[in-house]
């Protein structure tokens, strides 16, 4: 329990640092009044805008107001529309989730089995072919894959619509764009973890004890290979979100990624801040859940944490 509370407190501190960094980076980058109204705006209009949005207050006053607003779940109003920033973000969130969830599931369902298959055929032509395809998949940038798919299926063949959400076929190109990279990463990482476990003496011991090869893989190889894969899942969330920002702008997908780019260009700070916080909170929560799951998968990690806590108590006594 003490270790869990410590991790939760660290996660909250990380979120506070992220919120602070976002605020100062946006506040010091440019004057939102001039960015929105334009450099030719009359001085009295600019002054009225600053008074309306409290931009004449000192930086630290605005920072304290911003942090207190987050604590109270008040994320401010959009500079462009005057509507609550949280409402604008929530209207775009379903489209992003509708793209990211199936993309994440497809990446796991393709990458992990392919990596296992390659590890079981280590050194063969099949293994080399799978690893080559994986390297190409995550080495080619998402924007290039998206443009090539759009040219092939929309411009040349005319099979798919190039942008927006029209039907279920609108998911094909965006998902391929992101899955090609993420599945390749999972395939390579799974293969590396499996190859390392397959060479461990414990597998020979289990087979000598009467288990067949299938049972040895299920009871010894896969559980031990799952631990490094969980670490990759935490990083996978960040890659998926970053890929969504690029992919949504390529295919004009009406999600958070496209809204983020539009808001940054328009200096709509309140919307940018809440999107960054939402992305950061999602990554922090996923990594926290990954850390907590280690102890359930491998009892040795749970026992090590308990011993470490006891030693700390003895040292401070």
Which has the closest alpha carbon to 301: 194, 232, 228?
Answer: 228
Six token digits for residue 226: 């799952």
Q: Which of 6-10, 31-35, 87-91, 304-308 has the lowest mean pLDDT?
A: 304-308
DSSP H or E stretch at residue 102? helix 85-120
Of residues 29 and 178, more confidently modeled: 178
d(CA 306, CA 317): 17
Task: Note the residue count of the chain.
Answer: 317
Average pLDDT over residues 64-68: 87
Tell whether the model's pLDDT for residue 305 goes beyond 60. no
Which has the closest alpha carbon to 189: 277, 112, 273?
Answer: 112
Q: Name the 3-class secondary structure at 221.
A: helix
Average pLDDT over residues 195-207: 70
Assign 218 a pLDDT band (cuts: 50, 70, 90): low
What number of other Cβ atoms are within 10 A of residue 286's Cβ? 17
Widest Cα–Cα separation across the chain: 86
How many helices (H) and strands (E) in the chain?
Answer: 14, 0
Q: List domains and CATH numbers for the chain.
A: 2-71 (no CATH), 92-292 (1.10.3720.10)
Six token digits for residue 292: 């907590």
Of residues 47 and 132, more confidently modeled: 132
Residues in contact with 256: Cβ distance below 8 Å, sequence separation at least 6, in sequence order: 89, 92, 93, 95, 96, 244, 248, 275, 278, 279
Position 181 scores a pLDDT of 86
Average pLDDT, the chain: 80
What is the pTM for the complete model shown?
0.77
Q: Which of 77-91, 190-204, 278-292 has the lowest mean pLDDT?
A: 190-204
Position 128 scores a pLDDT of 92
Tell whether the model's pLDDT for residue 312 goes beyond 60. no
d(CA 18, CA 279): 10
Q: Over the stretch 271-302, which tens digit does the pLDDT of each residue have?
A: 888 888 888 888 888 877 877 777 676 666 65
């Amino acid at each position: 329990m003490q270790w869990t509370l410590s991790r939760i407190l660290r996660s909250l501190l990380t979120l506070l640092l992220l919120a602070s960094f976002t605020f100062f980076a946006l506040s010091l980058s440019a004057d939102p009044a001039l960015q929105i109204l334009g450099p030719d705006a009359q001085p009295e209009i600019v002054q009225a805008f600053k008074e309306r949005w409290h931009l004449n207050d000192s930086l630290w006053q605005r920072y304290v107001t911003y942090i207190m607003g987050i604590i109270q779940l008040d994320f401010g109003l959009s500079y462009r529309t005057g509507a609550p920033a949280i409402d604008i973000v929530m209207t775009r969130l379903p489209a992003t989730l509708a793209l990211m969830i199936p993309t994440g599931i497809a990446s796991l369902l393709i990458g992990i089995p392919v990596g296992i298959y390659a590890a079981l055929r280590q050194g063969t032509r099949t293994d080399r072919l799978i690893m080559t395809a994986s390297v190409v998949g995550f080495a080619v940038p998402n924007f290039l894959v998206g443009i090539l798919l759009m040219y092939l299926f929309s411009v040349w063949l005319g099979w798919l619509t190039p942008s927006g959400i029209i039907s279920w076929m609108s998911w094909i190109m965006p998902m391929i764009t992101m899955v090609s990279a993420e599945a390749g990463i999972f395939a390579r990482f799974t293969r590396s973890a499996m190859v390392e476990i397959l060479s461990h003496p414990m597998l020979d011991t289990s087979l000598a004890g009467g288990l067949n090869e299938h049972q040895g893989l299920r009871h010894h190889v896969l559980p031990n290979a799952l631990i490094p894969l969980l670490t990759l899942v935490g990083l996978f969330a960040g890659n998926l979100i970053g890929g969504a920002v690029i992919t949504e702008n390529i295919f004009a997908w009406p999600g958070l990624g496209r809204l983020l780019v539009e808001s940054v260009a328009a200096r709509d700070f309140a919307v940018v801040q809440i999107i960054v916080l939402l992305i950061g909170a999602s990554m922090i929560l996923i990594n926290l859940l990954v850390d907590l799951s280690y102890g359930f998968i491998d009892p040795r990690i749970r026992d090590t944490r308990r011993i470490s806590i006891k030693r700390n108590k003895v040292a401070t006594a």
